[in-house]
Each structure stands twice: as structure tokens, then as C-alpha cells.
Chains A and B, each alone.
Chain A
Amino acid sequence: MLEGIMIGLSAALSIQNLLMVIAGCLIGTFIGMLPGLGPMSIIAIMIPVAITLGDPTAALILLAGVYYGAIFGGSTSSILLNAPGVAGTVATSFDGYPMARKGQAGKALTIAAVASFAGGTIGAILLMIFAPALSSVALLFHSAEYFALMVVGLSAIAAFAGTGQVAKALMMTILGLILATVGEGALFNMPRFTLGMMDLQSGISFITLAMAMFALPEALFLVLNPSRGANSEDGASNKITGLRFSREEAKAMAPVIGRQSVQGFFIGVLPGAGATIASFLGYAVERNLAKGDEQAEFGKGSVKGLAAPETANNAACTGSFVPLLTLGIPGSGTTAILLGALIALNVTPGPRLMTDTPEVFWAVIISMFIGNLVLLILNLPLIPYIAKILSIPRNYLIPFILFFTLMGAYIGQNNATELLILVGLGVMATIFRFADYPLAPLLIGFILGTMLEDNFARSMQLYRGLDFILERPMTLGLLVLAAILVLLPSYRARRARKRAEGVADGD
């Protein structure tokens, strides 16, 4: 491992890559603060830039920096405006916004930054320990296991969608898989489902899909409902002063940060769980652990209540890199987009990443440390200035958000039809959002679709049929696990309902 760290250090500490981290963090913070552009949209916009760099290490470092910056920027707008740009920072606003209303905006931002830093750093250390171990196990996997593993990942994403949402999430996953079959795949060398249209020959670009699923609906919602994220008058004019917090507060925060970085990390590793669940769970756990006065303080500007979700969501973001880097299977929308970027750069993430291109693997991990440091020492003092962006009138902001969405899709393909596809899919995604369908499963299904079919076809060819399911115990075990994951939520709901009915009858 030490050797790996040295390789990573030497790659990450080159002038170019240091600049990438700094630029990524700044751009991420800057855009992440805007309402309507979450980390997924920002990373999608940055992908053409990253691909033009040509060097996979630099590209991945840039994108990871953008990711961290965006999460940090999201926390900033949660704290200052009570307008979380991302679901992962909603819990931050519970205590961050009350604190800012009390005139302690500066302190709240510092606490958020320190907690994020600690969460991210501890997460990166855990990643360094667990990723190599998981990689060595994953090297034993064959295409049959990969196929099964992807099915498990997709099922887990659906299973974590929440009560009553599992079928909807599955539906979105299948739609994503269906969209992935459009175009001429490498596998069969024949166009499928292009309906005779030339522009569909190369399939739907994942950047277009990502923009259509996340950036466009959010921008349209901003137009539809001006009260969404529009209370900027009182927030942006708040003077951000007094960035320090006291020693007692630091003492109160320390155990929270310790617990939440570990808990957040492991939640982040699970596919489909990610930063949102980690932050809410972290908040709930810390509120239950707190006693008396401290518990009453939650929701009114508690230091612990702010530190918990901030630590947890950053640790979870780091944790979500584990399945991406070791198995090549993304567990969240953001890592799915990163996977798409890596494939475009000719890097195949997976267990062989560590042995084939160790410099990529370790440079990314080292750049996580550097990125967290940059956020803490460079971004924090700049926040009062960056926050000025929040006072840009929405009449100017929204056309620009729409324009960047269009550009992101256009630059990658240089094809105007792509823009029409973007608008069409964007309208579809907006309707899905209205009906409460989760969209991340769609994107993950789309990105995994090709690989899923690939591995399925390879195992079918190898075993001349479906025998591989029975002949490989690990494959069978994983597929059974996938079935359990999908069926368990509805089974438990049914049992709970039966029990409730039984009680009613007994009375």
C-alpha cells in the first residue's frame, strides 16, 4: 500500500494535477451553490472539458474535485438560504439555516467545512484500507459473477428507494436498460431499435441523458415555481462574519464527527444508499444519542445537528467510490456519471484498475485528501465572495443554466439533434418527477445496461445457455440476494400490515 501511496503522491502532486484539484473545487463550489445544478449536472457539464484533457488521471482528479466542491457549495446554499441544491444537503439546512438566521452564518459555514473535511478525510483513509481488499476478492469474479453483481447493484438501488417506491424505481431501472439497447452495440455489430434514424445509430449519449434527467427538470421547476430557492433577498445580504467556533463547540463536535464519518462511509459503500440516506440517518442517530438540552437544541441551530449530516454526506461520497473503483459498478447517479467519463477516457474501472493503472487509482485517492484540504483552506475564506453569486437575479440565472445544459449535451456530440433529444427526454423526466418517480435508477440502469448485457452474453456463450446460474454457486447466491433485496421491503410492509390488522381484530 505504501508503494501505491507514493505513486499516487507523485502523480497527484504534479503542478498540473494540483491545479486540477484547485480548479475543480472552485468550479464545483461556484456552480454547486446555484439552485438547480446539483453535483450530477455539474460533473456532466465538466465531462467534455475533462475528456479534452486526455490524461485520465488529471480528468478524474478534476471531476472528483468538482464533486467535492459541488457538495460543499450545496451545503453553503442550504445554510445561507435554506435552499438545498442537492438532496444530500437537505439535512444540513435543519440546523445550518437556523444558525445563519441567528447571525452565525460564518460559524455555521466553518463548522460545515470542518465537518466535511473530517468526513472526507476519514472516508478516504477507510477507502485506502477497504478498496484494495475488495479488489483482490473481485479479481476472482468471472463475467457470470459480474452479471449477477450488477443485478444485485440495480436491485439494491431499487430496494433503497423507500417504501412504496420499489416498483417505481425498478420501472425506471428497466427503462434505463431499454434506452441503453438503442444503437449499434459493440457486441453484435448491428443497429438495434434505431427506427431507421441515423442520429440514433450511435445510441443516446449518457451526458445528454444525465442533463435531461437532472439539470433540465430542476431548471424547469425553478421557472414553474419561483418560490423555489428564491428567498435569496434575506440570505445573500446577510453579512458573513465571524468564521470561528469555540473550543467547547469543537469538543461537542469531535465524537459526532468520529461516529458519522465511519457510519457515513459504510452507508455510502452500499449501492443506492449514498449521501442522502447517510445524512438523514446521521442526523437522526445523533439526535437520539444527544441528551437533554442538547437534544432540544436540534433543529434550532445545534452544532452537533449541523456537524452530523455534513460529516456523513462527505464520508458517504467517498464511500461511494469503493464499488466504482473496485468493481466498476456505480452505486449512485454521480458515480455513474464518473464511470461514463472513465469509459470515454479508455479507463475501465474494476478490480484490475489497481494493478493495471495504479497511478490512476492512487492519484484519485490522494487527490481526495488534497481536495478536502483545498476546500477547507482555500474555499472557506472565499465563501463571502462566492456567495455573491446567489444574488444574481433569476431572470439572468435561468437562461444561463438552460444554456449550459444545452452546451453540455452539444459539445460532447457536436450534433444539433442531440439537443432535441435532450429537450424531449427533459420533458419526460419532468413528468416523471411530478409523479414521484426516482430518476437516478434510470441513469444507473442506462450506464450499466451495456456492461450488463455484455457479461450476460459472455456467460451465456461460455456455458452454452443459462447453466452458468446453476453451475456457479456465487452467481446463484448473488442472484438470490438480488431477489431478496427486491422482495424484502414489500414482504415486511405486508407483515406489518397483517400485524396491524390482527391487533384491530383482536380488540
Chain B
Amino acid sequence: MTLDRWIALVFITFCCAYGYLAFFTMDQLLPPFMQRNPVWPSTFPKILAILGIIVGLIVLLGLEKTSATAEPSATEINYRRLHEYKLGQALMLLALMVAYALALRPIGFLLATTVFLTGGSAILGERKWHIMIPVAMIATGFVWYLVQEVLGIFLRPFPFFMGI
């Protein structure tokens, strides 16, 4: 089974769960006066869940015939060649983004961002620390100034134990 059909299968499962929530859990909570309305909060989700399952089945069963399956070009991205790609780097960058999201509040914008930018370059194989760290620091400071002073959006700059 190809990847697009697996996705269709997951999508159908998702629609079933969504449909279950819409059909069986939402209407009990509805106050009586709203039950006299022709539309309930669950009406639209119910329609969507049914449509989603139908369309998902069309993709899953391959009812819509594709025209001649063109061989994907070498420059286009293709999951069958995933092992040739730098999967490790991509996963590490994703992990770094998650770490950044979790660290942003506790350790503050300035430190978190400097570490993120330096770490990102390091993951990609850069080793010129004497360039990476100053570049990251200047960029961080510049963005913080822009967001905080020019746009007026508060970003906690320092770690939590430093007060602000």
C-alpha cells in the first residue's frame, strides 16, 4: 500500500473518532432551549465527518483513477528515497524546535534564541564557532529589539530567576 493510501486510512480513522464525538457526546450537553434550533453545534461536524469518510474511502480504494503515474524527477522530493536524505539532521532540528518551544518561557528569549540559532547551524555541520555564536547573538538582539521596541510585543528576555 502506498503512502497516500495509508494517510487516507489514518484520515478515515480520524473522521470516525471526530464523528463519534459529534454524534454521541456533544448533544447531551446542549441546553433544552437550543435543542429547538434547526442547527446544533454538532450539525456541521456531523456532515463533515460523513463527507470525510466518503472522500477518504475514495482515496483509500483508489476509485479515482490517476493518469499515467509519472516517474518523479530526481530534484523533486520523494519519500521512497528517504534513506538517501539527511533524515537525522531533520529530526534533530525538529527536536531542537520542540526544545526551544519548551525553553522559551523559563530561560528567556535571548538565551533560548542564541542557543537555538547556534545549535541549528551546529546540527547542519557548521563548526566555525567564532562566527556562529556572534552571528546568533547579534541576530537575537536585533530581533528582540524589533519585536519589543518597534512592535511593542512583550518577550521575556531573561531567565525566570532574574525577575522580569
Which B108-154 residues have a C-beta within 8 angstroms of A?
A: 113, 116-117, 119-121, 124-126, 132, 135, 139, 143, 147, 151-154
A399 and B121 contact, CB distance less than 8 A: yes
Question: Beta-carbon contacts of B88-120 to A below 8 Å, as 1s and 0s?
Answer: 011001100110111011000000010011011
Q: Report the nearest A residue to B63, measured CB to CB.
A: A167
Q: Report the nearest B residue to A490, measured CB to CB.
A: B64
Residue among A175, A427, A435, A456 making CB contact with B3, cutoff 8 Å? A435
B90 CB to closest chain A CB (Å) equals 5
Q: Is there a chain A Cβ closer than 8 Å to B56's Cβ?
A: yes
B44 and A420 contact, CB distance less than 8 A: no
A416 and B105 contact, CB distance less than 8 A: yes
A395 and B98 contact, CB distance less than 8 A: no
Question: Of A71-79, A133-141, A218-226, A262-270, which stretch is located at the interface?
Answer: A218-226
Total contacts A to B, CB within 8 angstroms? 175
Q: Is there a chain B Cβ closer than 8 Å to A497's Cβ?
A: yes
Hey, which chain A residues are within 8 Å of B49, CB to CB? 178
Residue among B6, B41, B98 making CB contact with A192, cutoff 8 Å? B41
Give the distance in Å from the alpha carbon of A48 to the alpha carbon of B45 in the complex: 30
Which A171-211 residues have a C-beta within 8 angstroms of B?
A: 171, 174-175, 177-178, 181, 185, 187-188, 190, 192-193
Residue among A224, A394, A433, A457 making CB contact with B90, cutoff 8 Å? A224
A167 and B87 contact, CB distance less than 8 A: no
B39 and A457 contact, CB distance less than 8 A: yes
Residue among B7, B21, B87, B154 making CB contact with A435, cutoff 8 Å? B7
B135 and A396 contact, CB distance less than 8 A: yes
A174 and B121 contact, CB distance less than 8 A: no
Hey, which chain A residues are within 8 Å of B152, CB to CB? 52
A459 CB to closest chain B CB (Å) equals 9
Given A178-B52, A414-B153, answer yes or no on A432-B117 (Cβ-Cβ < 8 Å): no
Q: Report the nearest A residue to B5, measured CB to CB.
A: A435
Given A48-B151, A396-B135, answer yes or no on A181-B97 (Cβ-Cβ < 8 Å): no
Hey, which chain B residues are within 8 Å of A432, CB to CB? 7
B21 CB to closest chain A CB (Å) equals 6
Q: Is there a chain B Cβ closer than 8 Å to A436's Cβ?
A: yes
Q: Report the nearest B residue to A430, measured CB to CB.
A: B90
A414 and B154 contact, CB distance less than 8 A: yes
Which B54-69 residues have a C-beta within 8 angstroms of A?
A: 55-56, 58-59, 63-67
Given A395-B124, A434-B79, A461-B37, answer yes or no on A224-B85 (Cβ-Cβ < 8 Å): yes
Hey, which chain B residues are within 8 Å of A166, CB to CB? 64
Hey, which chain B residues are within 8 Å of A494, CB to CB? 65
Q: Report the nearest B residue to A53, measured CB to CB.
A: B151
Hey, which chain A residues are within 8 Å of B162, CB to CB? none
Residue among B4, B15, B67, B101 making CB contact with A437, cutoff 8 Å? B4
Give the distance in Å from the alpha carbon of A181 to the alpha carbon of B48 in the complex: 10
Residue among A193, A395, A402, A434 making CB contact with B126, cutoff 8 Å? A395
Q: Is there a chain B Cβ closer than 8 Å to A7's Cβ?
A: no
Q: Is there a chain A Cβ closer than 8 Å to B28's Cβ?
A: no
Q: Is there a chain B Cβ closer than 8 Å to A19's Cβ?
A: no
Please, how many residues of chain A have a CB less than 8 angstroms from a CB on the other chain?
68
Give the distance in Å from the alpha carbon of A20 to the alpha carbon of B26 in the complex: 47
Given A52-B153, A399-B121, answer yes or no on A174-B51 (Cβ-Cβ < 8 Å): yes
Which B1-55 residues have a C-beta within 8 angstroms of A?
A: 2-4, 6-8, 11, 15, 18, 21, 26, 29, 34, 37-39, 41, 43-45, 48-49, 51-52, 55
B36 CB to closest chain A CB (Å) equals 10
A178 and B18 contact, CB distance less than 8 A: yes
Q: Is there a chain B Cβ closer than 8 Å to A406's Cβ?
A: yes
A453 and B93 contact, CB distance less than 8 A: no
B56 and A171 contact, CB distance less than 8 A: yes
Hey, which chain B residues are within 8 Å of A431, CB to CB? 3, 7
Hey, which chain B residues are within 8 Å of A224, CB to CB? 77, 82, 85-87, 89-90
Given A193-B21, A403-B113, answer yes or no on A228-B75 (Cβ-Cβ < 8 Å): yes
Given A223-B89, A406-B100, A414-B154, answer yes or no on A171-B39 (Cβ-Cβ < 8 Å): no
A225 and B85 contact, CB distance less than 8 A: yes
Which A392-446 residues have a C-beta within 8 angstroms of B?
A: 393-396, 398-400, 402-403, 406-407, 410-411, 414, 416-417, 419-420, 423, 427, 431-437
Hey, which chain A residues are within 8 Å of B98, CB to CB? 420, 423
Which A470-507 residues have a C-beta within 8 angstroms of B?
A: 490, 493-494, 497
A421 CB to closest chain B CB (Å) equals 9
Residue among B48, B94, B151 making CB contact with A178, cutoff 8 Å? B48
Give the distance in Å from the alpha carbon of A166 to the alpha carbon of B63 in the complex: 11
Give the distance in Å from the alpha carbon of A365 to the alpha carbon of B130 in the complex: 49
Hey, which chain A residues are within 8 Å of B120, CB to CB? 398-399, 402-403
Residue among B15, B38, B39, B104 making CB contact with A410, cutoff 8 Å? B104
B124 and A223 contact, CB distance less than 8 A: yes
Q: Is there a chain B Cβ closer than 8 Å to A227's Cβ?
A: yes
Hey, which chain A residues are within 8 Å of B52, CB to CB? 171, 174-175, 178
Which A366-400 residues have a C-beta within 8 angstroms of B?
A: 393-396, 398-400
B87 and A436 contact, CB distance less than 8 A: no
Q: Report the nearest A residue to B153, measured CB to CB.
A: A411
Given A163-B67, A395-B121; 12 other pairs, CB 8 A cutoff: A167-B59, A171-B52, A171-B55, A174-B52, A187-B41, A225-B77, A406-B101, A411-B147, A423-B98, A432-B7, A435-B79, A461-B37
A residues apposed to B, CB below 8 Å: 48-49, 52, 163-168, 170-171, 174-175, 177-178, 181, 185, 187-188, 190, 192-193, 220-221, 223-228, 393-396, 398-400, 402-403, 406-407, 410-411, 414, 416-417, 419-420, 423, 427, 431-437, 453, 456-457, 460-461, 464-465, 490, 493-494, 497
For the complex of A and B, the 6 pairs showing the least CB-CB separation, nearest first, are: A399-B120, A164-B66, A419-B101, A434-B79, A224-B85, A395-B126
